Amino acid sequence: MTKLTRIFILLAFLVTSFLVSGQSYVGVFGGLNSSKLNGDAPNKGKFNGLMGANTGAYIDLNLGKGIFLSLQPSYSQEGTKISYTVPKLDEPVDSITIRLNYFSLPLLLKITSTNKRFYAIGGFETGLLVDSYVSSHDTKEDIKTDVAEWNVAMHFGAGIKIPVGFPRLFVELRYSQGLVNLTDEPIEKSYVPRVKTAGFKILFGIEIPLKKTDK
């Protein structure tokens, strides 16, 4: 039995236990990332923000009064733009786009207010790199540098829930910060030398209680 299989079995057991013991919620969400890379920039280059999509589903498991463990498998488009200083121009010019697409599993702690309308959220995300590429003007190619297959990031943010009958809508603003270098390449040999991910997310979604009344 592989380690990944054991992890999924353990998660399934935990989910089942929490579903039996108390109120839980399921939901779906979508939104936008404004991401960039932080760290050593290429020679005469600067990292800038890049927009991308973020979609997924989640289940909130009740740990206690107003405290939930949130599992959020999702697909996240991240990356950065690189602008270079050009002689005789006052402003740097965007010329290269780096795209990093992840399948992610955030494991977050969600704490709600007493009226259950507002909440704070924080925790960690493990991301598996699905594909990556670099594009410039009309050209697109795979990144030749070996980018780490796994990324680990810290998340924290806040949101508001809007009841619309039995389900609830929500809007959430979140910041994420990578904790590991994606590569260890020298600056002069790579578009993505020693860098980490970072960015903001704005998410919209709908959630449904698994019971009609909270305990």
Q: pLDDT category, 165, cuts 50, 70, 90?
A: confident
pLDDT one-digit tens code per residue, 62-118: 888 889 999 999 999 999 988 776 665 555 556 788 899 999 999 999 999 988 899
pLDDT of residue 215: 43
- Using H for helix, E for strand and C for coil, what is the string for 83-121? EECCCCCCCCEEEEEEEEEEEEEEEEEEEECCCCCEEEE
Instruction: Look at residue 206 and tell me whether its pLDDT is greater than 80.
Output: yes
pLDDT of residue 60: 92
pLDDT of residue 104: 92
Amino acid at 118: F
CATH architecture under which domain 3-209 falls: Beta Barrel (2.40)
CA atoms 203, 110, 101, 185: torsion sign: positive
* Mean pLDDT score of the chain: 82
Instruction: Look at residue 30 and tell me whether its pLDDT is greater than 50.
Output: yes
Amino acid at 114: T
Mean pLDDT of 165-175: 93
User: What pTM was estimated for this model as a whole?
Assistant: 0.80
Angle at 43 between CA 41 and CA 49, to 5 degrees: 35
pLDDT one-digit tens code per residue, 195-205: 899 999 999 99
Instruction: Look at residue 214 and tell me whether its pLDDT is greater than 90.
Output: no
- Domain positions in the chain are 3-209
Residue 15 is inside which H or E element, if any? helix 3-21
